[in-house]
Amino acid sequence: MHRFLILCSLYGIIVGICSCTHEPFEGAEDIIPNKSATTVEWTAYKYSSKLAVSGQFNHVELILPPNSTKGIEALEGLEIFIHTKSLDSQSSERNQNIIDYYFSYLVDSEVIYGRLESINEDGTAQVLISLNGIEQSMPFDFELYESEQRIMFSATLDLEEWSAATALKHFDSCCISYHTGDDGINLVWPIIDIKVSASLDDL
């Protein structure tokens, strides 16, 4: 059976460039996510110069759909639970500020929920995101790589679509000294790049 090794990107939230060689989508079959190797990385932006601040969530859970379908279609229905208190921005002070002054002002803030609704051969997928008590379906890009045994989903989230920009303004006002650039402008951008990477096993 042909073996596909896959690298996966879900928001833009990963900063950096993949160095692996991209493999074509066609022919991927008999794959299943490996729960232990899933990462969710994010990139937020501050200042008028749009300085990137990146991190990840260290506690992520996957629930596989209860079906016997094989191949790419087997991923449809996959659920992901991202525990917001596991946020890691490489700064313990910033971690606590984001949790205390942003996530705590959202509805049902402890978990961000996602469900893969559909996955298409053109390298796009439709993902339902539940955030701040609001469910929205949005498109993601995904990529498969032969050398990394991973699948990567990526997208840019506009927090205003989940009515989450108001909480962001509160976070900004509480941490204003950290969000003011050399031009004196105080700004946190309401967009988040996110990338989800899951390891895959051949069946």
So what's the pLDDT on residue 87?
94
26 in any annotated domain: no
Q: Distance between CA atoms of 57 and 3, rounded to whole angstroms?
A: 29
Q: Is residue 5 part of a domain?
A: no
Token duo for residue 141 = 């890009």
How many structural domains is the chain composed of?
A: 1
Q: Which CATH number characterizes residue 197's domain?
A: 2.40.128.110
Q: Which pair of structure tokens corresponds to residue 87?
A: 């946020």
Structural domain contains residue 8: no
Q: Is residue 135 part of a domain?
A: yes
Tell whether 149 is covered by a domain.
Answer: yes
Strand 191-202 relative to strand 150-158: parallel, antiparallel, unpaired? antiparallel
Q: Give average pLDDT by consecutive 10-residue segment, the chain, 203 residues.
A: 34 29 38 67 95 94 75 82 94 92 92 94 93 96 80 94 88 80 88 90 42
Is the Cβ–Cβ distance between 66 and 108 less than 8 Å? no
> 65: domain range?
31-202
- pLDDT confidence of residue 2: 37
Kindly state whether residue 129 falls inside one of the protein's structural domains: yes
Residue 132: predicted pLDDT: 96
Cis peptide before 105 (omega within 30 of 0): no
**Whole-structure pTM value:** 0.77
Per-residue pLDDT, 56: 95
Which of 41, 51, 33, 43 lies closest to 82 in space, CA to CA?
41
Task: Please check whether residue 71 lies inside any domain of the structure.
Answer: yes
Q: Is residue 63 part of a domain?
A: yes
Residues 31/198, Cβ–Cβ less than 8 Å: no
Q: Are 47 and 187 in contact (CB under 8 A)?
A: yes
What pLDDT is attached to residue 166?
A: 85
pLDDT at position 35, please? 52
pLDDT at 118: 93
